[in-house]
Amino acid sequence: MTHSPTITKNPFILVITRMPFLPVIARNPSLPVIARNEMTKQSHQLKSIILLSGGLDSIVSAAIAKEKTTPLFALTFDYGQRAAKMEIQASKKTCKALKIRHMVIKLPFFAEFKKLLMLQTREEVNIEKFNKLKDVWVPNRNGLFINIAACYAEYYGADLIITGFNREEAVQFPDNRPQFIAATNHALMFSTLTKVKVRSFVSEYTKKQIYKLGLKYNAPMRYIYSCYLGEQKMCGKCASCRRLKKAMECNESSHCVNY
């Protein structure tokens, strides 16, 4: 049995309800149908869809994608994570600064996964809990995000799905590694008729190097929100905040001061 997604009154927010398999993505009438370009395109002619969380990697990747591709829009996912509100806010501001259309996709079926620390929004937790992989891992999150983006990419004629996968986080997170990108692209050759591809402009870089790239590409890093906790101010103590602070200190920068 399949379930169709529910679309809210806001034309830029889609709600995907509980379902056993990859959700069916409804066509958004507010977005134009974009004809597929020829496969022999230069890099700057490639059309892209950006996965944007509002963190360092995705904001810098969005700025690079703006210069190297033609972004159709950016997608931010609300799967009930603690930082959903702040991530959406940061992503909206980023898209406004870069003049990229922004969409939010809600995935409420994640609420079933009640044991996940990242989704326990009403409970207070020790910040030290957000330092281990098992505590911040959300099952197949990146895989799902990419597949949803691939639905949009194929329908609207985008060539690339832009992610912020990077070398530093690949040490801990297997779904940030080049092998994951390669395996995903292999699968997309069969699951999309247009052979959509995943690309990360920062896959070979550390956070320190990504921050430098952000300065080079004039990324709106003042809007970065990297904290797992989701409070108005970033805690500065969870693993994600510490990685950002280290990158800033290495670059002797206070460009992002939302602590």
List pLDDT tens digits, range 46-70.
Answer: 999 999 999 999 999 999 999 999 9
Residue 2 within any structural domain of the chain: no
% the chain with pLDDT above 70: 75
Can you give the pLDDT at residue 213? 95
209 vs 253: CA distance, rounded Å: 13
Sign of CA dihedral 249, 254, 256, 259: positive
pLDDT at site 38: 35
User: Where residue 7 falls among pLDDT bands split at 50, 70, 90?
Assistant: very low
Total domain count, the chain? 1
Distance, CA of 78 to CA of 196 (rounded, Å): 23
Torsion of CA 87, 98, 67, 247, to 10 degrees: -40
In a domain, 75, yes or no: yes
For the segment 230-247, the average pLDDT, to the nearest whole number, is 89
Is 30 part of a structural domain of the chain?
Answer: no
The dihedral over CA atoms of 244, 248, 249, 251, expressed in degrees to the nearest 10, equals 140
pLDDT above 50: residue 88: yes
Task: Evaluate whether 239 touches 135 at the Cβ level (below 8 Å).
Answer: no
DSSP for 39-92, written as a single string = S---GGG-EEEEE--SSHHHHHHHHHHHHHSEEEEEEEEESS-TTHHHHHHHHH
Q: Which of 10-14, 111-115, 124-128 has the highest mean pLDDT?
A: 111-115
Residue 179 in domain:
yes
Rounded Cα gap, residues 86 and 241, in angstroms: 14
Summarised one tens digit per residue, pLDDT across range 149-177 is 999 999 999 999 999 999 988 888 999 99
**What would the two tokens of residue 137 be?**
């891992």
Q: What is the pLDDT of residue 33?
A: 37
Domain range for 210 is: 7-15+45-113+131-250
Beta partners for 149? none
Cα angle 108, 109, 113; round to 5: 115
Beta strands (DSSP E) in 143-236 are 160-163, 197-200
* pLDDT-wise least confident of 71-80, 187-196, 250-259: 250-259
Q: Name the strand (E) or helix (H) holding 212.
A: helix 207-216
CATH for 225: 3.40.50.620
Both tokens assigned to 228: 């797992």
Q: Does residue 67 belong to any structural domain of this protein?
A: yes
How much is the pTM?
0.80
163/134 Cα distance (integer angstroms) = 22
Residue at 181 is within a domain: yes
Question: Would residue 25 count as lying in a domain?
Answer: no
Token couple for 98: 């870069």
Residues 6+ apart with CB under 8 A from 17: 3, 5, 6, 23, 108, 109
Residue 2's pLDDT is 47
Count CA atoms within 13 Å of residue 259 on its CB side.
Answer: 14
1 located within any domain: no
When pLDDT is cut at 50, 70 and 90, the band that residue 24 belongs to is very low
In this structure, what are the phi and psi dihedrals at residue 251, rounded to the nearest 5 degrees?
Answer: -100, 10
CA 222 to chain centre: 18
